[in-house]
Amino acid sequence: MHTVLQQLVNGLSLGSIYALLALGYTMVYGIIKLINFAHGDIYMLGAFWGYYVINQWHFSFWPALLSAMVFCALAGVIIEYLAYRPLRNSPRIAALITAIGVSFLLENGMSYLFSSNVRNFPQAMHVKSYNFLGAKVSNIQILILVVSIVLMILLQLIIRRTKMGKAMRAVSVDPDAAQLIGINIDRTISFTFALGSALAGAAGVMIGLYYNSIDPLMGMTPGIKAFVAAVLGGIGLIPGAALGGFVIGILETATQALGFSAFKDAVVYVVLIIILLVRPAGILGKNIKEKV
């Protein structure tokens, strides 16, 4: 029982990171039907920003986290403006290929500028462990889970209670009708990218603190797993992305606990295949028939 509880704690900590990333995927897809494969690399930029400001400017954890969110929000807006906006009326495959190209550009650009070596993330917080019903829980794990939940709640409040949130929902349902009633489509899409990228930046700083290591390719695998989480929960649905992230985190941790660490990534992709075969719309998604 203690082992199960320990793996549940580990899975929730990891799953909250996947959930933050999955939210960025699902928001962008819900607005412009684009799978932003560069989103995982925004998460990497957030980790490197946190590494830089803690080492060079001696920021503590909270200023590093907030500044990484701002930096990544700006990066997301710039990428949307330069790479995706010119292709908005192009076939979807063109935007998808561009997203893959942006991902490679960020990865190789960071490798060229800062080398591809693994760097030790500075410990901006003293690590403490607590005993909870026989399971060891660190203050870092508690921090990750609490911050992630708070950010998810704030995101939901922004989308449900603010004017820009209502604009996002309108654009996701019918962009043409939203434009007719005076909603600025470009501004709404840019805000969506900023919001999703800020969450990815926060996830990057927290995962750097958790694993104590970062590198320019660190966003590739988590980015794909977060995409799987978004599909699993129901892509385009914010609660679904959060649920999918936690499920993937717990599943990956359970696979490692059972002694199949070499197959932890494969299990995630098997889940993707199964969900696409059994329930393509995801756990919380609804199958919608398109009229021809």
pLDDT in tens, 188-243: 999 999 999 999 999 999 999 999 999 999 999 999 999 999 999 988 888 899 99
User: Kind and range of the H or E element at 165?
Assistant: helix 163-173
Where does the chain show beta strands of DSSP type E?
129-132, 135-138
16 lies in a domain?
Answer: no
Assess if residue 158 is contained within a domain.
Answer: yes
Closest CA to 13 of 282, 264, 289, 253: 253
| Total of domains in the chain | 1
283 assigned to some structural domain: no
pLDDT value of position 52: 95
The pLDDT tens digits for 25-70 are 999 998 988 999 999 999 999 999 999 999 999 999 999 999 999 9
Give 93-141 pLDDT, tens digit per residue. Answer: 999 999 999 999 999 999 999 999 999 999 888 889 888 777 888 999 9
pTM listed for this prediction: 0.93
In a domain, 5, yes or no: no
Structure tokens at 225: 């797993």
228 in any annotated domain? no
Mean pLDDT computed over 171-199: 94
Look up the domain containing 135 and give its range: 21-220
Q: Is residue 259 part of a domain?
A: no
What is the model's pLDDT at position 160?
Answer: 92
Residue 41 lies in a domain: yes
Whether 249 maps to a domain, the answer reads no
Residues whose CB is less than 8 angstroms from the CB of residue 197 and which lie 6 or more positions away in sequence, other chains included? 24, 39, 42, 72, 73, 75, 76, 77
Alpha carbon 181 to its chain's center: 31
Q: CB of 35 within 8 A of CB of 168?
A: no
